[in-house]
Structure 1
Amino acid sequence: MKKKILSTLLSVAMVAALLAGCGNGSTKETSKETQTNTPSTTESEAATDSTDQGQAATQDPQTEKTIKILSIWAEDNDNGVLINEICKKYQAEMNPNFNWEYELVSSDDLKQKIATLTASNDLPDIFVYESGKPIVDLIDADKIVNISEVLEQYGCADSMNPSAVSLLSTLSGTDDIYDLPLGLNVEGFWYNKALFEQAGVKVPTTWEEFEDALAKLNDAGIQPLAAGGSDKWGVTRLINAYLVRSAGPDAMTKAANGEAKYTDEAYVAAAQKIQDWADKGYFGQGVTTVDMNTAGSMLMTGKAAIFYNGSWFTSNLNDDSANLAGNDGIGFFNVPVVDEKISAGDSYSMNCGNILCFSKEKYDDATGWFIKYFVENMGNTAMKLQGTVKGYNYDTASSNVSGYTQMVLDNINSAKSAFTWYEATMGSEVSTVAQENVQTLLTGDMSAEEYMQSIQDAFDLSN
Structure 2
Amino acid sequence: MSTIKRAATLVAATAAVTLALAGCSGSTGGGGDPADVNPDGEITPREISWLLSRPADGGVITAMQQIADEYAEDHPGFALNLITTPDRPSYIQKYETLAAANKLPELFDTDATPFAQKLAEQGRMVDVELLLDDLGLKDDYREAALNYQRFDDGSLYMVPFEFQLEVFWYNADLLGQAGVEIPGTLDDFAPMCEELRAQGVTPIALDGQDGWPLERYMAYYPFRMAGPEFVQQLKNGEASFADEPGRAAVEWLYGLGQAGCFQEGFSSTGYADAQAQFTSGKAAVYNIGTWELSNLATEALDPAVRDAVDYFTLPTLDDAATADNEYVTPSGIGMAVNSATYDPLVRDFLAFALERYPEAYAASGALSPTTGVETTIPPGATPLYTRAVEQAGDVGSAIAMPWDTQLDPATNTRLQQELTLLVQGDITPDEFITTMDAALTENISG
The residue aligned with 2:133 is: 152
Q: 1:389 is matched by which residue type in structure 2?
A: L
- Taking the TM superposition and a 5 Å limit, the aligned residue runs for 1:251-400 are 251-318=230-297, 327-384=306-363, 386-396=364-374, 398-400=376-378
Distance 2:368 2:201 in 1: 37
Q: 2:324 is matched by which residue type in structure 1?
A: G
2:97 aligned to which of 116, 125, 130: 116
The residue aligned with 2:441 is: 460
The residue aligned with 2:9 is: none
Distance 1:98 1:119 in 2: 28
Closer/same/farther in 2, CA of residues 269 and 159 from structure 1, 3 Å limit:
closer
Distance 1:227 1:234 in 2: 7
The residue aligned with 1:7 is: none
SS at 1:67 equivalent = strand
- Taking the TM superposition and a 5 Å limit, the aligned residue runs for 1:127-166 are 127-166=108-147
Q: What displacement does 1:116 show?
A: 1.5
1:340-375 CA distance string (max 9 Å, x none): 443332322222212211211111111011111121
1:236 aligns with 2:218: no
Q: What displacement does 1:135 show?
A: 1.9
Distance 2:302 2:224 in 1: 31
8 Å CA contact retained: 1:62, 1:96: no
Distance 1:390 1:434 in 2: 32
Distance 1:414 1:120 in 2: 43
8 Å CA contact retained: 1:56, 1:153: no
Closer/same/farther in 2, CA of residues 273 and 322 from structure 1, 3 Å limit:
same
The residue aligned with 2:201 is: 222
1:43-94 CA distance string (max 9 Å, x none): xxx998xxxx97568xx965222101222346434422122112112223x4
Q: 1:225 is matched by which residue type in structure 2?
A: I
Give the count of matched residue pairs.
408
Distance 2:313 2:377 in 1: 26
1:447 aligned to which of 428, 439, 442: 428
SS at 1:234 equivalent = helix
Q: 1:100 is matched by which residue type in structure 2?
A: L
Unaligned runs of 5+ in 2: 1-30
Closer/same/farther in 2, CA of residues 330 and 157 from structure 1, 3 Å limit:
same
- Taking the TM superposition and a 5 Å limit, the aligned residue runs for 1:33-182 are 55=38, 62-73=43-54, 75-92=56-73, 94-105=74-85, 106-169=87-150, 172-182=151-161
Q: What displacement does 1:107 show?
A: 2.7
Q: 2:366 is matched by which residue type in structure 1?
A: T
Distance 1:148 1:101 in 2: 25
Tell me the percent identity. Answer: 23
Q: 2:80 is matched by which residue type in structure 1?
A: W
1:416 aligned to which of 378, 396, 403: 396
Distance 2:230 2:37 in 1: 41
Q: What displacement does 1:195 show?
A: 0.9
Closer/same/farther in 2, CA of residues 166 and 214 from structure 1, 3 Å limit:
same
8 Å CA contact retained: 1:423, 1:431: yes
Closer/same/farther in 2, CA of residues 203 and 358 from structure 1, 3 Å limit:
same
Range moving further from structure 2, 413-422 or 140-149? 413-422
8 Å CA contact retained: 2:159, 2:335: yes
CA RMSD of superposed structures (Å):
2.7
**Please, what TM-score do these two structures have when normalized by structure 1?**
0.80
Closer/same/farther in 2, CA of residues 286 and 341 from structure 1, 3 Å limit:
closer
Distance 1:61 1:137 in 2: 31
8 Å CA contact retained: 1:160, 1:392: yes
8 Å CA contact retained: 2:158, 2:336: yes
1:428 aligned to which of 395, 409, 415: 409
Distance 2:249 2:144 in 1: 28
Distance 1:263 1:77 in 2: 41
Closer/same/farther in 2, CA of residues 332 and 81 from structure 1, 3 Å limit:
same
The residue aligned with 2:3 is: none
Q: 1:121 is matched by which residue type in structure 2?
A: N
Q: What displacement does 1:324 show?
A: 5.4
Q: What displacement does 1:270 show?
A: 1.4
Range moving further from structure 2, 226-235 or 405-414? 405-414
Q: What displacement does 1:137 show?
A: 2.3
Closer/same/farther in 2, CA of residues 83 and 273 from structure 1, 3 Å limit:
same
1:279-316 CA distance string (max 9 Å, x none): 23221311111123211211111111011122212132
Distance 2:374 2:304 in 1: 31
Q: What displacement does 1:218 show?
A: 2.0
1:406 aligns with 2:400: no
1:319-345 CA distance string (max 9 Å, x none): 655655555432111121221443332
Distance 2:222 2:265 in 1: 25
Closer/same/farther in 2, CA of residues 324 and 364 from structure 1, 3 Å limit:
farther
Closer/same/farther in 2, CA of residues 281 and 161 from structure 1, 3 Å limit:
closer
SS at 1:190 equivalent = strand
SS at 2:49 equivalent = strand
Q: 1:390 is matched by which residue type in structure 2?
A: S
Closer/same/farther in 2, CA of residues 341 and 69 from structure 1, 3 Å limit:
closer
